[in-house]
């Protein structure tokens, strides 16, 4: 999964941030980066299924934004521009590497759609709560849901018992259930069924 630290979202509007970037303000670029890097990373990972390439393509967007700040004219929104730039980067990556996407390139979802951003807000909320888990518990859950490891594999890697793994995952799910909205918790369980997948592998 695409792991990014959560940073404080600035209060400045995108328009003002962009105006400052155009004037050469590096702090404004940092603000824009903090605001959208995580969401863009999720989108890139969803399309590429490769953390390293996803992060590189997202970083390239901000590099290009800075290098071409005096030439770029944004007619719609900064968010729209960033995500379309990322989408184009992903398409170029597929073409250069002659990689067959999991879906036709022309059918890759428009990342600027309202439906997409609503979905990403849900993802962001989910992963923010994951960051609140104790370090070992979060690590165990991430190994189960993101790396698709079995309880036995996690226990071996961390040098703990299989029962400890099962207990920690159970507590993690209980924490998420108590703190997330029911729909968000259901989304997490649907996307990352750790217990179900691990149970199948451990049989």
Rounded distance between C-alpha atoms, residue 84 and residue 13, angstroms: 19
The pLDDT score that the predictor gives to residue 198 is 40
pLDDT above 80 for 154: yes
pLDDT above 90 for 87: no
How far from each other are the two terminal CA atoms of the chain, in whole angstroms?
Answer: 25
Contact 34, 7 (CB under 8 A): yes
Rounded distance between C-alpha atoms, residue 35 and residue 6, angstroms: 9
The pLDDT score that the predictor gives to residue 60 is 95
Percent residues over pLDDT 70 in the chain:
69
The pLDDT score that the predictor gives to residue 59 is 95
Output the average pLDDT for the chain. Answer: 77
Which of 35-49, 124-138, 156-170, 189-203 bottoms out in mean pLDDT, i.e. has the lowest? Answer: 189-203
Say what the pTM is.
Answer: 0.50
The pLDDT score that the predictor gives to residue 90 is 87
Contact 108, 66 (CB under 8 A): no
Rounded distance between C-alpha atoms, residue 31 and residue 48, angstroms: 26
Rounded distance between C-alpha atoms, residue 40 and residue 78, angstroms: 13
The pLDDT score that the predictor gives to residue 26 is 94
Domains along the sequence of the chain with CATH? 14-115 (1.10.1740.10), 132-202 (1.10.10)
Rounded distance between C-alpha atoms, residue 79 and residue 8, angstroms: 17
Rounded distance between C-alpha atoms, residue 200 and residue 89, angstroms: 37
pLDDT digits 0-9 by tens, 161-197: 999 999 999 999 999 889 888 777 776 676 555 554 4
Rounded distance between C-alpha atoms, residue 22 and residue 20, angstroms: 5
Which bin fits 7, alpha (ψ -120 to 50), beta or left (φ > 0)?
beta
Q: Up-side HSE of residue 41: CA atoms within 13 Å toward CB?
A: 20
Rounded distance between C-alpha atoms, residue 53 and residue 135, angstroms: 26
Q: Tokens representing 44?
A: 């890139």
The pLDDT score that the predictor gives to residue 190 is 60
Please, which pLDDT band fits residue 107 given cuts at 50, 70 and 90? very low
């Amino acid at each position: 999964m695409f792991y990014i630290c959560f940073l404080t979202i600035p209060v400045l509007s995108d328009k003002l941030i962009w105006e400052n970037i155009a004037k050469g303000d590096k702090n404004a670029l940092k603000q824009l980066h903090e605001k959208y890097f995580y969401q863009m990373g999720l989108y890139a990972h969803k399309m590429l299924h490769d953390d390293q390439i996803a992060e590189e393509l997202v970083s390239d967007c901000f590099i290009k934004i800075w290098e071409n700040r005096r030439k770029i004219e944004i007619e719609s929104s900064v968010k729209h521009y960033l995500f379309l730039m990322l989408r184009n980067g992903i398409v170029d990556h597929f073409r250069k590497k002659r990689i067959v996407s999991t879906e036709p390139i022309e059918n890759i979802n428009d990342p600027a759609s309202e439906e997409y951003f609503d979905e990403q807000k849900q993802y962001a909320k989910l992963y923010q709560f994951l960051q609140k888990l104790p370090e070992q518990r979060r690590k165990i859950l991430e190994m189960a849901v993101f790396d698709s490891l079995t309880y036995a594999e996690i226990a071996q890697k961390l040098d703990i018992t299989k029962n400890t793994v099962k207990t920690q995952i159970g507590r993690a799910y209980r924490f998420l259930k108590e703190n997330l909205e029911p729909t968000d918790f259901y989304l997490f369980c649907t996307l990352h069924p750790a217990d179900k997948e691990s149970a199948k592998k451990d049989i």
